[in-house]
């Protein structure tokens, strides 16, 4: 009985699996690939030959192991030759990077972003950064895709930036603008910054091997990337993870979204400034302008940090009850707040989350730092290649 996937489909799946493996794990011996992918040696050899023929991997001798016997050849991703462009639109800057297959940051640039500037203004600035980077790109190198991380709600079907309070953007076709500007013909995948930072930390960072993770990202607002059962949770339309607008304090402050007492009104920069009796600072600087004095012993700053940390733990406890993650990662400004108020966060978690839901959870900060959105945008861009390596 000959049924099921065709030979072509199986070959495509296996090529994708092998390429994804070396993309994620780096240089890997044929012997290890055989074990990891559950394929025999001759198949691994044939797949590697196909990928090498397409310029996606190279084979070579491993580093000296000191062990006797003929060493297994090592398969490496062609990081210098095969790359994606990754972009990040942030409150006060625009970033672009060239990321090699395997996740290597080959080059990166940034320019300031003017307050109030539009997507139509951002796109040419980003493509200008690409032109700069092209100078340093070796002949024969191939761009296989592009991705962009944006602070805002991104429609799953087409990457439209529906709403981004931070930049003021509404219904901006950012991916389309970038695609037109790049002129490479590749679609530009668009993702929310928290989703993409989560993706990066899941593939290459602190959450490797974790199937149930909540990644909190703070900037002007607070959002989350969620992984459940090993897969990204983006919701029906792509707008999932808006945890900053979970209402935690019904009698709290009005929120920019029109509601009141949203989580981000209690843990964001403005809340810290308000509690500490300061003002006039924005974004990441706002958090630091309170966290730093608190670390130096300023009593009013310390009280403000404790209060915001208490609310941070409050919301985390809610999310732990709802999603029973094995890890919560505090990224962006939430990293600074968490590090300054870990005791408050843990205390709230212990008092508010059910024991069964919280007992396995680890609280962590990101491993990839500021690069996470770019790495994540590149991961998104590599998806097409990894799904069908010889078709891109």
**For binding to a second copy (CB under 8 A), which residues are involved?**
1-5, 7, 10-11, 13-14, 39-40, 43, 46-47, 153, 155, 162-163, 211-212, 224, 226, 228-229, 231-243, 245-251, 257-259, 314, 317-319, 321-326, 351-357, 360-361
Q: Which is nearer to a second copy, 13 or 65 (CB)?
A: 13
The answer to whether 139 and 125 are in contact (CB under 8 A) is no
Q: Which is nearer to a second copy, 70 or 251 (CB)?
A: 251
Q: Which is nearer to a second copy, 291 or 327 (CB)?
A: 327
Question: How far apart are the C-alpha atoms of 95 and 294, rounded to whole Å?
Answer: 31
Burial 102-114 (b: 16+ CB within 10 A, else e): bbebbbbebeebe
CB of 58 to a second copy, least distance (A): 21
Question: How far apart are the C-alpha atoms of 384 and 16, rounded to whole Å?
Answer: 10
Phi and psi at residue 285, in whole multiples of 5°? -60, -30
Q: Which is nearer to a second copy, 259 or 365 (CB)?
A: 259
The answer to whether 309 and 301 are in contact (CB under 8 A) is no
Please give the DSSP secondary-structure letter assigned to residue 370: G
State whether residue 175 is helix, strand or coil.
helix
State whether residue 287 is helix, strand or coil.
helix
Phi and psi at residue 232, in whole multiples of 5°? -65, 135
CB of 116 to a second copy, least distance (A): 22
Size of the chain in residues: 392
CB of 257 to a second copy, least distance (A): 6
Measure the N-to-C terminal CA separation of the chain; round to a whole number of Å: 33
CB of 265 to a second copy, least distance (A): 13
Q: Which is nearer to a second copy, 11 or 109 (CB)?
A: 11
Q: Which is nearer to a second copy, 129 or 214 (CB)?
A: 214
CA angle 157, 159, 160 (to 5 degrees): 105
CB of 115 to a second copy, least distance (A): 23
Q: Which is nearer to a second copy, 118 or 351 (CB)?
A: 351
Q: Which is nearer to a second copy, 21 or 85 (CB)?
A: 21
CB of 155 to a second copy, least distance (A): 8
Question: Beta partners for 192?
Answer: 150
CB of 270 to a second copy, least distance (A): 19
CB of 278 to a second copy, least distance (A): 25
154 CB burial (10 A radius; 0-12, 13-18, 19+): buried
The answer to whether 232 and 201 are in contact (CB under 8 A) is no
Q: Which is nearer to a second copy, 236 or 296 (CB)?
A: 236
Q: Which is nearer to a second copy, 212 or 284 (CB)?
A: 212
The first and second tokens of residue 305, run together, are 């940090």
The answer to whether 330 and 363 are in contact (CB under 8 A) is yes
Q: Which residues contact 234 (CB under 8 A, 6 or more apart)?
A: 156, 195, 240, 241
Pick from 178, 198, 196: nearest CA to 186: 178
CB of 315 to a second copy, least distance (A): 9
Q: What is the dihedral of CA 170, 383, 234, 195, to 10 degrees?
A: -70
CB of 136 to a second copy, least distance (A): 38
């Amino acid at each position: 009985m000959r049924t099921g996937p065709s030979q072509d489909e199986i070959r495509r799946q296996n090529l994708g699996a092998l390429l994804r493996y070396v993309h994620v794990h780096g240089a890997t011996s044929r012997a290890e690939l055989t074990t990891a992918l559950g394929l025999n040696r001759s198949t691994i050899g044939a797949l590697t030959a196909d990928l090498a023929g397409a310029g996606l991997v190279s084979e070579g001798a491993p580093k000296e192991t000191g062990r006797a016997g003929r060493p297994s050849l090592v398969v490496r991703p062609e990081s210098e030759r095969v790359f994606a462009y990754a972009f990040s639109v942030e409150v006060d800057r625009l970033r672009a990077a060239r990321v090699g297959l395997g996740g290597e940051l080959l080059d990166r640039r940034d320019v300031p972003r003017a307050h109030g500037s539009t997507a139509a203004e951002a796109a040419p600035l980003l493509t200008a950064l690409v032109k700069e980077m092209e100078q340093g790109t070796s002949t024969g190198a191939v761009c296989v895709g592009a991705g962009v991380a944006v602070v805002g709600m991104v429609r799953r079907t087409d990457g439209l930036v529906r709403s981004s309070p931070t930049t003021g953007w509404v219904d901006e076709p950012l991916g389309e603008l970038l695609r037109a500007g790049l002129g490479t013909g590749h679609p530009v995948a668009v993702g929310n910054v928290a989703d993409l930072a989560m993706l990066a930390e899941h593939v290459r960072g602190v959450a490797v091997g974790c199937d149930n993770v909540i990644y909190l990202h703070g900037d002007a607002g607070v959002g989350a990337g969620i992984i459940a059962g090993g897969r990204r949770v983006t919701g029906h339309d792509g707008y999932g993870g808006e945890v900053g607008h979970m209402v935690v304090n019904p009698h709290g402050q009005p929120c920019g979204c029109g509601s009141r007492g949203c989580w981000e009104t209690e843990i964001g920069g403005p809340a810290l400034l308000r509690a500490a009796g300061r003002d006039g600072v924005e974004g990441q600087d706002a958090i630091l302008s309170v966290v730093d004095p608190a670390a130096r012993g300023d009593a009013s700053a310390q009280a403000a940090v404790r209060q915001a940390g208490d609310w941070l733990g409050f919301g985390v406890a809610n999310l732990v009850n709802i999603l029973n993650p094995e890890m919560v990662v505090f990224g962006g400004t939430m990293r600074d707040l968490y590090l300054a108020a870990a005791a408050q966060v843990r205390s709230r978690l212990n008092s508010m989350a059910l024991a069964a839901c919280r007992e396995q959870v680890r609280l962590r900060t990101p491993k990839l730092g500021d690069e996470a959105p770019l790495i994540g945008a590149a991961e998104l861009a590599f998806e097409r290649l990894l799904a069908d390596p010889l078709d891109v």
